[in-house]
Amino acid sequence: MTVRSDTAGEDGENDGAAALDAALVVVERWLAAVLDDPASDDAAAHAAELRDVGRRAGAGEDDRFENLATLVAEVGANLAATQRKAVRTGFDLHDGAIQHVLVTGLELQSLRRDLEELPEPQRQKPLERLSIVLARLLALENDLRDLAHSLETPALAEVPLAERALAEIAAFEQETAIETEVHVSGDFGRTTRSQRIAIVRVLQGALANVRRHSGARRVRVDLAGNDEGISLAVEDDGKGFDAAFALADSARRGRLGLVSMSERVRLLGGEFALDSRPGGPTRVAISLYAPPATPD
């Protein structure tokens, strides 16, 4: 009787599966780093890990893992270069185009004051046309600001969260002259980079909505952190709106400000709440949970 054993083949398959699983873990960590910061220079380190996995896998596997490592390194380098270029573009927008738009707006406001001194029959039509131009200029400024914000590097997460939030609020108050009450409390040390970015983006979006749409006179911002997580709430005393209709209408029209805020929070496993009604107030609130503590 002849007995054949396939143990060696099975062992080889198991080793190959284990190597593939190890490689996928490395790729997953690399993708998480890229999502946190596209300008991250960690790709080379992850590529080295993949090559090491290939060497441990043995004969016949080196080339496959080498190709994957090369791809990760190249994609990482391209992403980092693209992000750096985007950051420079964002700075150029803020220091160039946006400033020119603001100066143009001031000049047009001066022209409006001159027109208002003309007799009624002569000023009506020019003033109407000027109002349309000013409205379009304001829309352009808002679009440019949104674009500049979207091009900011996620390295903004390296700035202490409370410091960054206070800077955003101070800029908002200076631009709008809307009275802003701020409460910051607790410890933000356990927040992840992705959570810090999300908090800043939601704060920027909520304040932008107040500036553009609310007609508010006062805003309150609450930012709190503890061992369980972090919460942010932005409430204004403006004219308000139908919250459910606004979310549905924003998604339908492709105006994704509120929708993207909600989706960003959901992807991080957090909670998003929008409370508003015609006549106000309006409140945007999010909660993000602290990651599990790492055992010693």
Q: What pLDDT, in 10s, does the model give residues 149-202?
A: 666 655 565 678 899 899 999 989 988 889 999 999 998 888 887 788 889 889
- 34 shares its domain with 135: yes
Of 67-71, 130-134, 147-151, minimum mean pLDDT range = 147-151
Q: Given 96, 123, 155, which residue is the final one in a domain?
A: 155
Element counts in the chain: helices (H) and strands (E): 9, 5
Q: Which of 289, 277, 280, 203 is nearest to 244 (CA)?
A: 277
- 29 shares its domain with 136: yes
Q: Is residue 108 part of a domain?
A: yes
Residue range of the domain that includes 136: 6-155
Of 30-44, 122-136, 190-204, 239-253, minimum mean pLDDT range = 30-44
What pLDDT, on the 0 to 100 scale, is given for residue 273?
93
- 136 shares its domain with 208: no
Total domains present in the chain: 2
What pLDDT, on the 0 to 100 scale, is given for residue 4?
44
- 21 shares its domain with 62: yes
How far is Cα 124 from Cα 142, in angstroms, rounded to an integer? Answer: 27
What pLDDT, on the 0 to 100 scale, is given for residue 232?
97
